[in-house]
Structure 1
Amino acid sequence: MSTLKLYSTEGGVIEVTPRLAEVEADVQHLIEAHMETMLGVRFLASEYSTGPVHGGRIDSLGLDENDAPVVVEYKRGTDAGVINQGLFYLAWLMDHRAEFGHLVRERLGAAAASRVRWSAPRLICVAGDFTRYDAHAVREHRRSIDLVRYRFYGEQLVGLETVASATGQTVTTGTARRRRAAETTRGHLTQGATAELAAAVDETLLGLGQDITKTENRLYRAYRRLRNFACVCPPQKTKLLVYLKADPQEAGLVPGFTRDVTRLGHHGTGDLEVQLRSERDLERARDLFRLSYAAA
């Protein structure tokens, strides 16, 4: 159980007692109504039927910031079967890609449907608590799984805490493997001096916390807690571009170093672009990385 204590400072210092939901549906309805804000996942469907043969209902379906399909399962308290139940539905989803693609096209449009990344499907389990065996199972499993503990505080506050998270093994087709190999070869020819800088950025971002997972696609590498907080594009000849979730106005803009890309098209997620050309730039960017991490 979480040891976090929350206090109200109105009229003195009073501890706000955490509580579980009255019923599981209270958690599900709240998160589905605000899924993109709370989980970084675009909501697609609730209580999605898997058909008469399979005989089940997926609590929530969504698409994350990196275009990966997401199954979300909820439990009011601690339930030893939540991970296996979620994996059961994730396996069904992998076998019904066309059906999911149709759902994405219907809800988010054809462009979103064309970008769905089947190489990295995710399961998010939201529950009152998890056992140490659950956390161990996540680390040992081949799938991308997030265990998220919730708590209500009073009538207006809710907290989410990542208990365990794992990226799992990427499912790669033969075509994707060949494409990745070609991109890697091209990358070695263009990275030059920025390769070492890219490795330092990777180490710095992963070092911000134990709840960070890394997801890669051909356009960028995403670092996330539940939501992305940094996206690193492939190294260019003279610089490395990192996109952060930090507020550009709060971070402050420095010409040649940081840029507000809120209304500009770019790969990855985040409105603050950071341009890194040297280790000195990386040192300057550390506080921005921490700011974005805290906001995710």
Structure 2
Amino acid sequence: MVGLKLFDMTGGMTEVVPRLAEVEADVQDLVEAHMETMLGVRFLASEYSTGPVHGGRIDSLGLDENGAPVIVEFKRGTDAGVIHQGLYYMAWLVDHKDAFRHLVRDRLGVTAASQVLWSAPRLICVAGDFTRYDVHAVREHSRLIDLVRYRFFGTDHIGLETVASVTGQIPAPARARRRVAGLPPASRQGGALAELAAAVDDTLLGLADGITRVQRKQYAAYQRLRNFACVCPPQQTKLLVYLKADPAEVDIIPGFTRDVTGLGHHGTGDLEVQLRTERDLERAQDLFRLSYAAA
């Protein structure tokens, strides 16, 4: 985004110069007010106290689409301390799960509190910029960390750019990934469908660097900042993949794609893709990329 040039074509061609916030609170207040839209995270609390012993305040706490706890830390400009600070609070959060569950229960209800996904807590750092040392530093950690650069454009626009996403996962061969993702081995299910499931996993993870797979009992979610695909366990004859692509922008093909807007299903996304063969996977490639771009 630092190299991005934005022009206003109204009445000519005028460059809209990017700028930082006047104060850090301007960014924090805006993101907290629209956190689900901007980051895919349900907002829970601002300036959350970690108590007199720990002696700190977490800028923002939230819960992502998969039920994972999220810490969001903000800095107006470039500040390596935002990463260290966030990791410091992450350690506190993991040691104080009951406090977080109580917060979720009070804000979102008992059901949400009982389904918190503690295997994948996340740290999102939003700042004016990051250095190459910051990007290298987060890659040395085993936590899920997103570095997000912001810029204001004029008075009506803000841009967010993911500088780095660290999955906390070590790449593994397809067979090992199949076990991690909860996909059934070929010996327990038709070999062709099991291999198709592994190919879908490979394809989604291979769309870009920094894609995270988050495993829940009912589905595996693939995310950048937000989920862009959710894959349900194989059924008898097919795999169901739910995408963030807008069903109104794609051709709905009976037996292959379905608009599930407003219909209950596991995972997130309004476009259902039904995969039965490798050819179906090839047909779905553009839809996967469209959904990735939309997330």
**SS in structure 2 opposite 1:190?**
coil
Q: Which residue of 1 aligns with 2:82?
A: 82
RMSD (Å) for aligned C-alpha atoms:
1.8
Q: Which residue of 2 aligns with 1:283?
A: 282
Deviations 1:180-225 (A, max 9, x none): 89x6667751253112212222232233223422222222121111
Q: Which residue of 2 aligns with 1:161?
A: 161
Q: Which residue of 2 aligns with 1:175?
A: none
Q: Which residue of 2 aligns with 1:26?
A: 26
Q: Which residue of 1 aligns with 2:149?
A: 149
**SS in structure 1 opposite 2:162?**
strand
| Distance in 1 separating the partners of 2:244 and 2:232 | 15
**SS in structure 2 opposite 1:28?**
helix
> How many residues are matched?
286
1:156 Cα deviation from its structure 2 partner: 0.4
1:262 Cα deviation from its structure 2 partner: 1.8
Deviations 1:144-200 (A, max 9, x none): 100000000010010000011112159xxxxxxxxx89x666775125311221222
- The question of 1:8 aligning with 2:34 is answered no
- The question of 1:200 aligning with 2:193 is answered no
Q: Which residue of 1 aligns with 2:176?
A: none
Paired residues of 2:186 and 2:195 also in contact (CA < 8 A):
no
Deviations 1:223-245 (A, max 9, x none): 11111111111222321110001
Q: Which residue of 2 aligns with 1:53?
A: 53
Paired residues of 2:167 and 2:210 also in contact (CA < 8 A):
no
Q: Which residue of 1 aligns with 2:175?
A: none
Deviations 1:127-158 (A, max 9, x none): 00111111111111011100000000010010
| Distance in 1 separating the partners of 2:107 and 2:190 | 39
Cα distance change of structure 1 residues 194 and 186 upon mapping to structure 2, 3 Å threshold: closer
Q: Which residue of 2 aligns with 1:118?
A: 118
The one-letter code sitting in structure 1 at the alignment partner of 2:267 is G
Paired residues of 2:183 and 2:194 also in contact (CA < 8 A):
no
Paired residues of 1:162 and 1:211 also in contact (CA < 8 A):
no
Give the TM-score, by structure 2 length: 0.92
- The question of 1:98 aligning with 2:94 is answered no
Q: Which residue of 2 aligns with 1:174?
A: none
Q: Which residue of 2 aligns with 1:37?
A: 37
Paired residues of 1:191 and 1:236 also in contact (CA < 8 A):
no
Q: Which residue of 2 aligns with 1:222?
A: 221
**Deviates further, 250-259 or 66-75:** 250-259
Paired residues of 1:191 and 1:235 also in contact (CA < 8 A):
no
1:290 Cα deviation from its structure 2 partner: 1.6
Cα distance change of structure 1 residues 206 and 30 upon mapping to structure 2, 3 Å threshold: same
**SS in structure 2 opposite 1:293?**
helix
Give the TM-score, by structure 1 length: 0.92
The one-letter code sitting in structure 1 at the alignment partner of 2:197 is A
Structure 2 gaps of 5+ residues are 171-178
- The question of 1:260 aligning with 2:263 is answered no
| Distance in 1 separating the partners of 2:115 and 2:76 | 33
Paired residues of 1:187 and 1:235 also in contact (CA < 8 A):
no
The one-letter code sitting in structure 1 at the alignment partner of 2:209 is Q
